[in-house]
Each structure stands twice: as structure tokens, then as C-alpha cells.
């Protein structure tokens, strides 16, 4: 399973570790992902999503239906 948020589309970024002597080596920045279940009341079922912390905050703010609608509008939602 890839490390991508299903709502926001956040994914792994690449950068450098920089030592005290300024020597650079490659590293990866991972999104803060959680596997979380949400209850969809109008469909009367639970859905499991892999979402980032900011995705969970969006769900708290907009509700699960609103967050999914926003993700579909932005093109980051895929029903797998």
C-alpha cells in the first residue's frame, strides 16, 4: 500500500539530510498517515480510509460527506 492520503493526496517527499559539515545525503519525508474508520450515516456503513492528520481535521470540520466531496472535486479521491 502506498503512502498517500486518500483525502488530501499528500505523499512522500524527497529531500536531504544536512550534517554539521554541510554534507548532503538523500532522505524521505513521510506524511503523517493513519488508518481510520469513519461512519457514514446516510449509507449506514463504516468506511476505512488511510488519511493524514490534516485529512482528519478536514473531516472534523466538514464532515465525512463534505470531505469526500471536496476530495472528488480536487481529484484526489479514488474508490478502491
C-alpha–C-alpha distance, residues 69 and 80, integer Å:
16
User: Could you report the per-residue pLDDT of 10-65, keeping only the tens digit for each?
Assistant: 999 999 999 999 999 999 999 999 999 999 999 999 999 999 999 999 999 999 99
Q: What is the pTM of this model?
A: 0.85
Task: Please report whether residue 4 resides in a domain.
Answer: no
5 alpha-carbon distance from chain centroid:
2
Could you tell me the three cell numbers for 27?
Answer: 532522505
The interaxial angle of helices 53-62 and 64-74, nearest 10 deg, is 120
- Looking at residue 60, which CATH number applies to its domain? 2.30.170.40
Q: Is the dihedral of CA 31, 34, 39, 43 positive or negative?
A: positive
Task: Please report whether residue 64 resides in a domain.
Answer: yes
C-alpha–C-alpha distance, residues 25 and 5, integer Å:
26
Q: Domain count of the chain?
A: 1
pLDDT of 80: 57
Structural domain span for residue 66:
13-74
Determine how many CB atoms are found less than 10 A away from the CB of residue 8: 21
Amino acid at each position: 500500500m502506498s503512502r498517500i492520503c486518500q483525502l488530501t493526496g499528500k505523499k512522500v517527499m524527497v529531500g536531504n539530510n544536512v550534517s554539521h559539515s554541510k554534507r548532503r545525503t538523500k532522505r524521505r519525508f513521510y506524511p503523517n498517515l493513519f488508518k481510520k474508520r469513519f461512519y457514514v450515516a446516510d449509507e449506514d456503513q463504516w468506511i476505512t480510509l488511510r488519511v493524514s492528520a490534516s485529512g482528519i481535521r478536514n473531516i472534523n470540520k466538514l464532515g465525512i460527506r463534505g470531505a469526500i466531496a471536496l476530495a472528488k472535486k480536487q481529484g484526489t479521491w479514488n474508490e478502491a
